[in-house]
Chain A
Amino acid sequence: AQSVTQLDSHVSVSEGTPVLLRCNYSSSYSPSLFWYVQHPNKGLQLLLKYTSAATLVKGINGFEAEFKKSETSFHLTKPSAHMSDAAEYFCVVSEFRTYKYIFGTGTRLKVLA
C-alpha cells in the first residue's frame, strides 16, 4: 500500500527565511508525488509534481522539492518565505492504477512578520 507522512503539523518561519516542509512516502512502485497548497476556505492549488523525469522538481511561486529514493522523502522547500505563503500544504501520492490521491495530514505554514 502507498502512503505519505507529513512530519510536521505546524511550521512557523519568519518572513524572508527558508521554508522546509517534510514529507516521507511509502510505495512499492515508482511513485507519482505532488505538493498542493490550500489557502483558507479555498480549493487546492498544484505547486509541483514528481513523475520520475527529474529528482529536483521546480514548482510555482519559488517552491521546489527533491525526490530522494534512498530516504523515501519528498521535502518541499523555498529559499525565502513570503507572507502570502501562509497556508496549509498537502503532500500527496497517487495510487498506482486507480489514480486516487492519498493525502498526507497537512502542514500549516505560518509566516511571521
Chain B
Amino acid sequence: GAVVSQHPSWVICKSGTSVKIECRSLDFQATTMFWYRQFPKQSLMLMATSNEGSKATYEQGVEKDKFLINHASLTLSTLTVTSAHPEDSSFYICSAREAASGTDTQYFGPGTRLTVL
C-alpha cells in the first residue's frame, strides 16, 4: 500500500513553454502533498506544501507564479512549471501524507526529470 505515482517520469521541453507534472496517491487519500526539487548529487529541497482544496504554501525563495500548484482532489496534485528556462531543469519529486493515518509519514513518488532546452 501507500503508493504514489508521478507522470511523466521524464520530459523535455523548449524554453518558454509550460510543463505540467501530476502526482497521484494510488491507494490512499492524501490531505497534504509536498513538492521537492533535487539537483544532481544533492539533497531534496522543499518547494511547496499542497493542501487539498486550499492554496499551496511556498517555501521562501520559490516563485509561486512560476511553479503553479493545484491540489484538486485528495488523490491528485499538479505542479506546472510556467515559461520554463534551462535553469528549471531538475528532478522534481512529490510526496503525499495519508489523511487517515494521523502520522507524519510521507510517501514519495518516483520523480520527474525535467530538461529544458
Contacts and interface: CB of A to CB of B under 8 A. Distances in A.
A44 B105 CA distance: 12
B108 A44 contact: yes
A42 B97 contact: no
B111 A100 contact: no
Contacts of B41: 108
Main secondary structure on B side of the interface with A: strand
Nearest to B112: A43
A111 to B, nearest CB: 18
Given A51-B103, A99-B32, A41 B113 contact: yes
Given A90-B44, A100-B46, A101-B34, A49 B105 contact: yes
Main secondary structure on A side of the interface with B: strand
B111 A104 contact: no
Contact of B97 (A44, A99, A104): A99
B111 A94 contact: no
A43 B6 CA distance: 10
A105 B6 CA distance: 24
Interface string B96-117: 0100000111111111010000
Interface of A: 32, 34, 36, 41-46, 49, 51, 90, 94, 98-101, 103-106, 108
